[in-house]
Amino acid sequence: MNVLILGASGMIGGKLARRLAGDGSLAGKAISQLVLHDIVPCDVPAGIPVSRCAGDLSRAGEAKRIVAARPDMIFHLAAIVSGEAEQDFDKGYRINMDGTRALLEAIRAAGTRPRLVFASSIAAFGAPFPEAIDDCFFNTPLTSYGTQKTISELLISDYSRKGFVDGISVRLPTICVRPGKPNRAASGFFSNIIREPLAGHEAVLPVSDGVKHWFASPRAALGFLLHAASLDLAAVGPRRAITMPGVAATVGEQIAALRKVAGDAVARRIRRQPDPVLEGIVAGWPRNFSPKRALELGFTADRNFEEIIRIHIDDELDGRVV
């Protein structure tokens, strides 16, 4: 099986590449070739034949060049993030919408009908919401990023219906705990308030304890992508965009879980510094879902927020808390 990862330098892309290189197989088939693509250089894991290519998916001819290797399985994780897509309107549409379309057109032209697993987002939804968003709730994104993800989902469903590709869009929850440095993403604090205290640092909490959100660990997210790659999509039918299961937790519940897992001294490293503007932005985000369809299809979430913290400690901190 020839596997392609687009956006292989990202956090999830890198983890996926290492996982596939380690497993050596996917959906019951040996991986003969793994191609990693990103606009920035990416690490090459050991284990199986891996090749790397750099480029901008949205540049003319690039998608065709990538698909020329005739991948059987494509993970499309390439995107610019929400904040940047909001600030740079043209760049967001070029990368997040035109990039997906160029990929689909290249696949259609190649005529190979590969499986395509697309990382979509709960940004496809916009407030106001019911208490829990069910699988039939409409997409009214309140960001350009969410609009671009929703449009990509629609294109993938239509190209799949026409038989040009065998695609599925998995709407990922907010990934938590995100490893690495604090970034400027508006959602960054959800991870910061866990990761930084565990590493001995102070973290700023800009919203109130009652704010509820929808989470998955990086490990659960990898599980979603791998399950989507091996699923029988005939059973999924023409509705190819699926909200993944997750853990709904309030900030207060996040902190309580941190205290339980790592102790009060760690939890006390969180400093409250309310930011009314950010609280307003967060109010427009989904809080909770009822992802019945994904559960029926065998996608599995983390059990609770404590498990999400323990996964971070295991996978990123070698089991050690400072």
Residues 59-118 that bind a second copy (CB under 8 A): 89
Site membership for a second copy, residue 175 (CB under 8 A): no
Site membership for a second copy, residue 132 (CB under 8 A): no
Alpha-carbon distance values, 176 to 126, 128, 134, 302, 307 (Å)? 20, 24, 22, 11, 11
For residues 82 and 29, give the distance between their C-alpha atoms in angstroms, rounded to a whole number. 35
The number of beta carbons lying within 10 Å of the beta carbon of residue 228 is 25
Q: Which of 28, 46, 60, 138 binds a second copy (CB under 8 A)?
A: 138
ω into 261 cis (within 30 of 0):
no
Site membership for a second copy, residue 283 (CB under 8 A): no
Take residue 37 and report the two structure tokens written for it.
């693509």
For residues 153 and 125, give the distance between their C-alpha atoms in angstroms, rounded to a whole number. 13
- Choose the catalytic residue: 75, 125, 145, 224: 145
For residues 216 and 172, give the distance between their C-alpha atoms in angstroms, rounded to a whole number. 8
**Is the separation of the CB atoms in 75 and 103 below 8 Å?**
no
Q: Is 145 a catalytic residue?
A: yes
Give the shortest CB-88-to-a second copy separation in angstroms: 12
Site membership for a second copy, residue 290 (CB under 8 A): no
Give the shortest CB-128-to-a second copy separation in angstroms: 9
Site membership for a second copy, residue 239 (CB under 8 A): yes
For residues 116 and 3, give the distance between their C-alpha atoms in angstroms, rounded to a whole number. 10
Select the span of 33-41, 141-149, 194-202, 267-275 touching a second copy (CB under 8 A): 141-149
For residues 192 and 123, give the distance between their C-alpha atoms in angstroms, rounded to a whole number. 20
Select the span of 20-28, 139-147, 179-187, 258-266 touching a second copy (CB under 8 A): 139-147
Spatial CA neighbour of 220 closest among 194, 195, 246:
246
CB-wise, 158 or 315, nearer to a second copy?
158
Site membership for a second copy, residue 147 (CB under 8 A): yes
Select the span of 145-153, 199-207, 213-221, 301-309 touching a second copy (CB under 8 A): 145-153
Site membership for a second copy, residue 139 (CB under 8 A): yes
Take residue 260 and report the two structure tokens written for it.
């339980």
Positions marked active-site: 145
Q: Which residues bind a second copy (CB under 8 A)?
A: 89, 126, 130, 135-142, 144, 147, 150-151, 154-155, 157-158, 161-162, 238-239
